[in-house]
Chains A and B, each alone.
Chain A
Amino acid sequence: SAVISQKPSRDICQRGTSLTIQCQVDSQVTMMFWYRQQPGQSLTLIATANQGSEATYESGFVIDKFPISRPNLTFSTLTVSNMSPEDSSIYLCSVPLAEDTQYFGPGTRLTVL
């Protein structure tokens, strides 16, 4: 199976700042997904990152808050902008490596003070 890495693994940030999270896959994939896991909660899909086009956002998530880049088939970034304590979560990228099967990166644990 492919190796999926994320940077940073964790960070503590101040309110009002922004953090960019990187996701790297060791094989080329058409679609990449970004999820959020709030403390004690399940995973919620933020957006689908498509190479060569704008990301597709789920209801409740907007580009101004969570801008996404997808410059090539192995890499994507998610930025959490103008952070507040409510943004404290684990952010995960995932890629489909088999039909309807997602494999997840190790996650980025974000704490906003």
Chain B
Amino acid sequence: GDSVTQMEGPVTLSEEAFLTINCTYTATGYPSLFWYVQYPGEGLQLLLKATKADDKGSNKGFEATYRKETTSFHLEKGSVQVSDSAVYFCAGGSTLGRLYFGRGTQLTVWP
């Protein structure tokens, strides 16, 4: 079945470092792709999305590009902040609205 494989953490970075969290997908069609974030003690929030190949989703300085040739949707941020510490989930979406999630990557940013 359709799935996403996400780089496992934890990832620990210093403030202002560059962040990459890898995500690849396996799907029979062309799913929409998402990054969700879960801050400590909070619910799951949509961070960004891309609905077709070559689309770039961006939000709060985070970016991810839907790359069909490599079946990837890697999350990047040029300069992380302490407030970015959270768990990040890559997800794919079917046309029926059902989502399948990666295992999540715990990011900790130190000042």
Contact = CB atoms under 8 A, between A and B. Distances in A.
B77 interface: no
Contacts of B44: 43, 92, 104, 107
Chain A interface main SS type: strand
How big is the B interface, by class? Answer: 20 to 34
B58 to A, nearest CB: 15
B99 A45 contact: yes
Contacts of B95: 100
B83 to A, nearest CB: 20
Contact of A100 (B93, B100, B102, B103): B93
Interface in B35-50: 36, 42-46, 49
Among A43, A96, A104, A105, the one with the most B-chain Cβ atoms within 10 Å of its Cβ is: A43
A106 B44 CA distance: 7
Given A99-B51, A100-B51, A107-B43, A42 B98 contact: no
A49 B51 CA distance: 24
Interface residues of A, number: 20
5 contacts: A31-B97, A43-B44, A43-B101, A48-B97, A100-B94
Interface of A: 31, 33, 41-45, 48, 92, 94, 96, 99-107
Given A31-B97, A48-B97, 10 more contacts: A33-B99, A42-B101, A43-B44, A92-B44, A94-B99, A100-B49, A101-B49, A102-B34, A104-B44, A106-B42
Interface of B: 31-32, 34, 36, 42-46, 49, 51, 89, 93-104
